[in-house]
Amino acid sequence: LSPTWFLSIIQNEFRNGKIDLESTMKLLEKLQMPFDFAHVKHVFKKTVDKRKVPTINMEDFRAIYRTIVHRPEFHERFRVYSANGKTLADNELTEFLRKEQYETESCESIALEIILKYEPIEEVRRRRQLSFEGFVRYMSSEDCSIFKSSHRTIYQDMNHPLCDYFISSSHNTYLVSDQLIGPSDLWGYASALLKGCRCLEIDCWDGSNNEPVVYHGHTLTSKISFCSVIQVIDKYAFVASEYPVVLSLENHCSPKQQEVMADYLEGILGDKLLTSTVGGTAMSQLPSPEALKFKILIKNKKVGTIEEGMLRRNVDSHGETGEVSDFENMSDEDEADEKTPLYPKSDSSKRKSDYVPSTPPQKKAKVKKVKIAIPLSDLVIYTKSERFVSFEHSLAHQQFYENNSIGEVRARKFVKHSAKEFVSHTSRFITRIYPKGTRATSSNYNPQEFWNVGCQMVALNFQTPGVQMELQDGKFLDNGGCGYILKPEFLRNRNSTFTPHDVGRYSRPMSLSIRLISGHQLPPSTLSKTNKADPLVQIEIYGVPEDQAKKKSSVIKSNALSPRWDETFSFNVQVPELALIRFCVEDEISLVTNEFLGQYTLPLLSLRKG
């Protein structure tokens, strides 16, 4: 530790001799290293324990700094490459980058960048060297993130048709807790959009004074006005990503209020709203995310074809309605076995239409005609909601701009019994999966099983934390977090014979070796007074069934500050293109229970070596 450099930064604070905990924290921030308050407080307390006054002198501060910053595992690496044990010359750093970080191109210029960016001691920086202080700062920085830096920006081809992408999608976006009595909140929409979500669900019902409202029908969740939802979407749609947003309307409104909805969509969204086909795209395939940048698409039932709607564009069609066939008592996304009213209002016994018949979906439900207001229908261009009948039916009759919503229970049966047909279907048509209605607490299903067959919109309850949302967040870190990820070729190719259960010739096996070295400043256990935890790490692979794997480290007793494992784990992955890797840190409380401390999930192919 260069005494002069260190002193020059800290001595001013010690002009009165001693400092307290708050000043210690401020001084550590000045030294530009990531510190966790709980850990600093703990080390500080240990230092002042025997004293009457809770303050420390300069020597104490140096000791605290070293305890937290000078990690032995960094020292060991540093000493391997530093001839004099004090600094790394630029050629020594270059060697480190080649051997340890697997950098292949322009190591010399990367080394120089690192020195200029991270070396805090000016004289060392001038000599084009890196001190241990600089090395620690580099090793603790984003530049050493396990996530490939090239995947932090948009690097995939964005000119394929929409159905060739996985699309970040949310279910019941207006809820911020559970589905029965929880609040509906505009923040649900803003926060989903800020996380890069590109498909939002809006559950619309007739409200008083001819104002449509958004809430979870037949439940006690609160109501928000449709108008305010569209205003929030207008404001936040393109903050996190420039690529198109799809508004999936679950529409229970009368034609009169559907017209009000159409007026709001056009009036508030203006030019952002897609109201006609995109120039240059053949009317035989969906346009690309690139062609639809900064556009908002409406997904709803539609009367007739796109062409018929376009011809009406300049004609005032207020007051006109059309009819589409639908099954009795089911909205666009209900299935008889999946969406019974969860929380019937007291008068539902009088209103037969609230109840969904319990016939399984294969039995012919009675067909009824649903009235759709023409002004709303004509706003649907490339995302027309079409009831799913069967894979054969879709292949024979479905248009490229028609999309299906399939409930998780039914979709899971297809994955199990007709995966090849499912993959063939999703190579042609956008398919949205949604959670079953009986998940009253807004719990989620595992999205991986539906990504495995190429479903584009696997809708999750964004408001519900847990492994499922962690997989969603991890997958969509890829491609710059823009909410669109190009599907692997075998899920885009219409002649593909890929299935998740039998990957056959589509396997591109990869052997993965992970060395778990150490942890640093882990969140202390909530059950511990002494800032301790007994941490262990689980490393999990999510992917096609044969790639699913889970390995567990040993437990390090009572050390949340700097647990050290030095264990190696190996995995063989058959379909790396679909795999996610999840690191989960837990505190072992007893032989049967662990407390969750933190996790990080990312696509396997976004994992950096080094």
- Which amino acid is residue 139, in one-letter code? M
Widest distance between CA atoms in the chain: 87
Task: Tell me, yes or no, whether 590 and 466 share the same domain.
Answer: no
Averaged pLDDT for residues 571-583? 98
42 in a domain, yes or no?
A: yes
Tell me, yes or no, if 501 is annotated catalytic.
Answer: no
The answer to whether residue 440 scores a pLDDT higher than 80 is: no
Q: Which of 39, 151, 216, 425 is catalytic?
A: 216
pLDDT digits (tens, 9 = 90+) for 18-29: 999 999 999 999
CATH number, domain of 539, equals: 2.60.40.150
Q: How confident is the model at residue 85 (pLDDT cuts 50, 70, 90)?
A: very high
Query: 112-121, 183-192, 414-423, 601-610 — which is least confidently predicted?
Result: 183-192
pLDDT digits (tens, 9 = 90+) for 381-403: 999 999 999 999 999 999 999 99
Query: 122-131, 169-178, 519-528 — which is least confidently predicted?
Result: 169-178
Tell me, yes or no, if 171 is annotated catalytic.
Answer: yes
> Which carries the bigger pLDDT value, residue 31 or residue 221?
31
The answer to whether residue 284 scores a pLDDT higher than 90 is: no
pLDDT of residue 458: 98
pLDDT of residue 525: 76
Q: How far apart are CA 285 and CA 260, in angstroms?
A: 31
Q: How confident is the model at residue 316 (pLDDT cuts 50, 70, 90)?
A: confident
Q: How confident is the model at residue 333 (pLDDT cuts 50, 70, 90)?
A: very low
The answer to whether residue 353 scores a pLDDT higher than 60 is: no
Q: Which contacts (CB < 8 Å, 24+ apart) does range 134-137 have? A: 135/74, 135/78, 135/88, 136/33, 136/69, 136/70, 136/71, 136/74, 137/32, 137/33
Q: Which of 39, 171, 218, 520 is catalytic?
A: 171
Name the residue among 479, 482, 429 with its Cα closest to residue 456: 429
Length of the chain in terms of residues written:
610
Task: Tell me, yes or no, whether 418 and 300 share the same domain.
Answer: yes
Averaged pLDDT for residues 302-317? 84
DSSP one-letter code for 447? T
Task: Tell me, yes or no, whether 46 and 85 share the same domain.
Answer: no
Q: Indicate the number of domains in the chain.
A: 4
156 in a domain, yes or no?
A: no
Q: From 69, 95, 110, give the residue that closes a domain.
A: 69
Q: How far apart are CA 60 and CA 67, in angstroms?
A: 11
The answer to whether residue 574 scores a pLDDT higher than 80 is: yes
pLDDT of residue 181: 54
The answer to whether residue 413 scores a pLDDT higher than 80 is: yes
Task: Tell me, yes or no, whether 168 and 140 share the same domain.
Answer: no
Q: How confident is the model at residue 355 (pLDDT cuts 50, 70, 90)?
A: very low
CATH number, domain of 227, equals: 3.20.20.190
Question: Which residues fall within 8 angstroms of residue 400, CB to CB, at 6 or more apart?
Answer: 161, 163, 284, 285, 286, 428, 429
448 in a domain, yes or no?
A: yes
What are residue 403's phi and psi, to 5 degrees?
Answer: -120, 155
483 in a domain, yes or no?
A: yes
Task: Tell me, yes or no, whether 532 and 392 share the same domain.
Answer: no
Averaged pLDDT for residues 361-371? 69
The answer to whether residue 337 scores a pLDDT higher than 70 is: no
pLDDT of residue 437: 79
CATH number, domain of 86, equals: 1.10.238.10
pLDDT digits (tens, 9 = 90+) for 27-49: 999 998 888 998 999 999 999 98
pLDDT of residue 1: 56
Q: How confident is the model at residue 552 (pLDDT cuts 50, 70, 90)?
A: very high
> Which carries the bigger pLDDT value, residue 525 or residue 107?
107
392 in a domain, yes or no?
A: yes
pLDDT of residue 545: 98
Q: Residue 20's domain spans which residues?
A: 3-69
Among 3-17, 119-133, 183-197, 279-293, top mean pLDDT goes to: 119-133
546 in a domain, yes or no?
A: yes
